[in-house]
Amino acid sequence: MAETAPKRQKTSKSTPYHLVYWPGLPGRGEHVRLVLEEAGAEYTDTAHTEGGMGEVLSYIQGKQPPVDDVANLPVCAPPILRHGELVINQTPNIVLYIGKREGLVGDAEDEDGMWRVNALVLTALDGLSNEVHDCHHPIATGLYYEDQKEESLRRSADYVKNRLPKFLGYFQRVLEAKASGDGPWLYGGNLTVADLVLFQCLDGVKYMFPKAMAKLQREGKHDRVFALYDAVKERPRIKAYLESKRRQKYGMGIYRYYEELDLEG
Amino acid sequence: MAETAPKRQKTSKSTPYHLVYWPGLPGRGEHVRLVLEEAGAEYTDTAHTEGGMGEVLSYIQGKQPPVDDVANLPVCAPPILRHGELVINQTPNIVLYIGKREGLVGDAEDEDGMWRVNALVLTALDGLSNEVHDCHHPIATGLYYEDQKEESLRRSADYVKNRLPKFLGYFQRVLEAKASGDGPWLYGGNLTVADLVLFQCLDGVKYMFPKAMAKLQREGKHDRVFALYDAVKERPRIKAYLESKRRQKYGMGIYRYYEELDLEG
């Protein structure tokens, strides 16, 4: 047992982060990037490093981490984070890991905060990312959109009519609750990773369903959600990032624009 | 700010857990139950308490936690955990919270273990729970299965052919990796919440797609995954739980049996 038991891997405050994600689109990696940017953390990103695509593939194909790594397990899909000797994947997991280290999961005295923040992150990703992806791939991720267009239209119509208002309504209720604190943020009066994740989700949904989002904004029932979106966008580090070349354009990822799916709801 | 800032809520080692989940079906609450049972933790469960359904509804309707609770936010959906003064939701969040407290996220010396375990939990839930739910509800959760039967058949055929072997293959690779340690478990030679979550996922998929799972087991490529399933089932506390009345039958939840979807793959 002692031979194979994982050892704790030491990382110091200054150990840089390394993000492994498909070059060429924001995708799920974007949640990780926004957290790293807001934290002002030192990081590298396969989106912008030579051989980045090959590196992603080496993880997918199980060449990294090597099968005899005593501490790290194979990863199923990107985004992947390498931090010192630690290799982990899964978007909400990476976001929570970095958020906890960088002071972005609530007040330092509030030991339970990270669990409330994690619940918000998971809910935003469920309702405003995973469900949105399935609006253009309701039948199979392995098929082209063109092979599931009818089903996509049916699913998207339900999404913008029922699911999207449900999730925006939920986050509006959170922002109205006392525990969200003063100011524009979701929890405890401080910016957390949940605000950054929700921002990216809203940005993606605005790209994919601009008519539905414009209508919801006009109706005014989710004013605090749209105010949070604006507040994140104006954070100095986030603003600089969004204007930089590091911010990639939407394309064939989770959030896609298809005119026929751009319904008002 | 001081007035609304959340305070740390003290819970002691002996504070019992309270699970809030729909009575009448295992559902996502089952992952939480298996963790509590394996831990030998003291807990109550709205599945078996008088007025349980009303209590679930009070959370869904936003009556609990009250809007002026200074620490807890509204929750979007069950399962919900109340532990002392803390209220949180989201299955993987609750599982990680309890797992960390109860020593089920890896060796106590291994501070990074919880992040590896959390990645496994999230991957099992993505691929073997959420995707399975969408096999009978590919278009809209708000519609009946009968209103999306054709699409369900198409999605299920893809699932058993492509997705199910992909995820079983992933967990087989994890079990073959050195970092999984000796014995039947996924990480570090110790039983963790990831093993319990994967067990419940496999049990549900066996219920929904018995032909596909029997074929995959016969083929023998995922022998370690099926061995893990058997090993969890034989844990004394899990075995006692599964034989008790606390274990509810599958029905109209995530895992459902429809003969027409029971494909071999």
Total domains in chain B come to: 1
Mean pLDDT of A227-238: 98
C-alpha to C-alpha distance for A154 and A237, rounded to whole angstroms: 39
Binary contact (B173, A62; C-beta < 8 A):
yes
Domain housing B150: 113-235
Give A262 to chain B, closest Cα distance, Å: 17
Mean pLDDT of chain A: 95
Instruction: Using pLDDT thresholds of 50, 70 and 90, give the confidence band for residue A215.
Output: very high
Measure B180 CA to nearest chain A CA, in Å.
7
Mutate to test the interface with A, among B82, B93, B154 (most CBs of A within 10 A): B93
Average pLDDT score over residue span B217-233: 98
- Mean pLDDT in residue range A203-232: 98
Closest CA–CA distance from residue B116 to any residue of chain A (Å): 6
Q: Residue A101 pLDDT more than 50?
A: yes
- pLDDT score recorded for residue B10: 63
pLDDT tens per residue across span B82-110 = 999 999 999 999 999 999 999 999 998 99
pLDDT-derived band of residue A6, with 50, 70 and 90 as boundaries?
Answer: very low
User: Average pLDDT, stretch A68-79?
Assistant: 97
- A153 interaction partners in chain B (CB closer than 8 Å): none
Report if residue A191 sits inside a domain: yes
Pairing of strands B17-20, B43-45: parallel
C-alpha–C-alpha distance, residues B70 and B3, integer Å = 8
pLDDT at residue A13, as a whole number: 76
Which among B80, B84, B59, B57 is positioned nearest to B71, based on CA atoms? B84
Residue A172 covered by a domain: yes
Question: What are the chain B neighbours of A93 within 8 Å (beta carbons)?
Answer: 115, 118-119, 122
Residue B192 amino acid letter? T
**Mean pLDDT rounded to a whole number for chain B:** 95
Percentage of residues of chain A with pLDDT beyond 90: 93
Provide the pLDDT confidence category of residue A188 given band limits of 50, 70 and 90: very high
A187 with B1: Cβ contact below 8 A: no
Average pLDDT of the residues in A17-28: 97
Is the residue at B119 inside a domain? yes
Q: Report which DSSP code applies to B145.
A: G
Q: Please list every residue in chain B whose beta carbon sits closer than 8 Å to the beta carbon of residue A62.
A: 173
CA dihedral over A15, A16, A22, A26, signed as positive or negative? positive
Q: What is the predicted pLDDT for the residue at A2?
A: 37
Lowest mean pLDDT among A7-11, B235-239, B258-262: A7-11
Say if the Cβ atoms of B177 and A113 lie within 8 Å.
Answer: no
Chain A residues within an 8 Å CB radius of B162? 140, 142
A-B contacts at Cβ under 8 angstroms: 204
pLDDT greater than 70 at residue A3: no
A106-123 pLDDT, tens digit per residue, is: 998 998 999 999 999 999
Instruction: For residue B140, list chain A residues with Cβ-Cβ distance below 8 A.
Output: 154-155, 158, 162
Q: Is residue A223 part of a domain?
A: yes
Average pLDDT, integer, range B155-172: 98
Residues of B in contact with A119 (CB under 8 A): 73, 75, 88-90, 93
Q: Give the gap in angstroms from C-alpha B153 to the nearest C-alpha of chain A.
A: 9
Position B152 in a domain: yes
Does the residue A136 lie in any domain? yes
Answer yes or no: is A23 within a domain: no
- With respect to residue B149, please indicate whether it lies within any of the assigned structural domains: yes
Residue B265, pLDDT above cutoff 90: no
pLDDT (0 to 100) of residue A10: 64
- Say which CATH number the domain at B133 has: 1.20.1050.10
Is A198 in contact with A120 (CB distance < 8 Å)?
yes
The beta-carbon neighbor of B67 closest among A77, A93, A176 is A176
